[in-house]
Each structure stands twice: as structure tokens, then as C-alpha cells.
Amino acid sequence: MKKLRKRKSALPKVKLFVFIAALIAASIYIDICLRPVVITVAQYRIQNLISKAVNNAIITVMEETQYTYEDLVEIVKNDKKEILSVNYNSLHINKLRSELVKATIEEAQKLPVTNVYIPIGNITNIDILQNKGPKLKFTITPSSYVEADVESVFQNTGINQINHQIFITLKVTANALIPNYSTSVYSENKVCVAETVIIGKVPDTIGEGIIYSAN
């Protein structure tokens, strides 16, 4: 009788253990299925938000600064109108780069906390269940890091004609912070801030591009 009672008293504990184990296994399975879906949706949403933020920053800064090619570059010629050197106004270039980085950061900070809703059927591999069932809500909190490079590019466009462009590339790493999940996206936005066609014989050494890097 005592052994029978012990078995009966142990039975609820076994059932509880089995139930907890099944619950943990189900949670792990759901997480494995759900994680790639959540991350993909979050990356897509953050990528769109960041692209808009960067474009807004570029438009704002370029309209406000209105630097000309002559503000950023000085072409030095001799008496025969031959080009001796191309000198960069580092003060103006660095200021423009800093303004673009600052504006991008400010626009990124304006990004709102956003919600995404994923139908529970999307975590299965069954086509008929896609976009079906109750929707799971996930809140995405964006954050970002911005840096910029400056590049000077020379291209031959004809005899004694060189097209000179100065680009600033904004490099943005955006993080999507989601409860129990996190992911990030990286984007580069290259904008031409100055351009001209240089007429005259250009020394070969001038054809080498320059690159600045800064946060």
C-alpha cells in the first residue's frame, strides 16, 4: 500500500515535469521559426526608415550650404594655362562632411518607435497558412551610427578634358532593437557635392583620388 501511494503521489510531479518540458520545447521551436521572420521584417522596415532619413539629411544640407566647386577646390595654373595642381579646401570639405553626418544623425534620432505585426501562420512552412491567424505584435526601437568618407574622382572625358567629382559617402549602421531579438542593417549613400570639367593638360599625379575618413 505504501509503494502504491508513493507511485500515486509521484505521478502529478511526472506530469508537471512532462508539461514543463513540452512547453519549453514548444517555445524553442516557435522561437526558431519566428526569429528569421521577425529579423527579416525588422531589417526591411529599418532600411526604409534609414534611407528616408539619409535622403532628408542630404537635401537639407545641400540646400543650406550651397557650396560651389570653387569653394571646395582651387585649380592652380601657370602662365601657359597649364594645370600645376588641384588644391582642396580642407576646411570647407570637412565642414560639409560634418554637416552631413550631423544632419543624418539628427534625422535618424527622429525615427519613431514602430510596430510590426506578423501573422502566426507565417512561422510555419505551410503555404496555405501564410498571412493567416492571429497577428503577433513586435515593437522596433531604432538606433544608428553614422560615419562619412570623402572621395575625389578624376575621369578622362576627352583630349585634355578631365571630369572631376568630389563625393561624400554616408555610411550608416542602423540597429533594430526588438524584445528578445536584435538585428542591424548597413547602408551607404554616395552624394556628389561638387563637379566640374577641367580643361587643359593635367599632370598624371593629379589623377590620383583622395579619401578622407571621419566619424
The structural domains of the chain, with segments of one domain joined by +, span 2-214
Q: How far apart are the first and last CA of the chain?
A: 78
Residue 33 has pLDDT above 50, yes or no: yes
- 164-180 residue pLDDT tens: 899 999 999 988 887 77
- For 79, list phi and psi in degrees, rounded to 5: -65, -25
Q: 184 vs 18, which has greater pLDDT?
A: 184
Pick from 89, 79, 86: nearest CA to 204: 86
How high is the mean pLDDT of the chain? 79
Q: Which three cell numbers stand for residue 194?
A: 561638387
Query: pTM score, two decimals?
Result: 0.75
Nearest to 122 by CA among 41, 47, 183, 49: 41
Residue whose C-alpha cell is 568618407: 149
CA 14 to chain centre: 51
Q: pLDDT (tens digit, 9 = 90+) per residue, 69-116?
A: 999 988 888 887 777 888 888 899 999 999 999 999 999 888 888 888
Confidence of residue 119 (pLDDT cuts 50, 70, 90): confident
171 secondary structure, DSSP code: E
Torsion angle, alpha carbons of 126, 131, 134, 136, to 10: 100
What are 42's three cell numbers?
A: 525588422
Q: How many separate helices (H) and strands (E) can be counted in the chain?
A: 3, 7
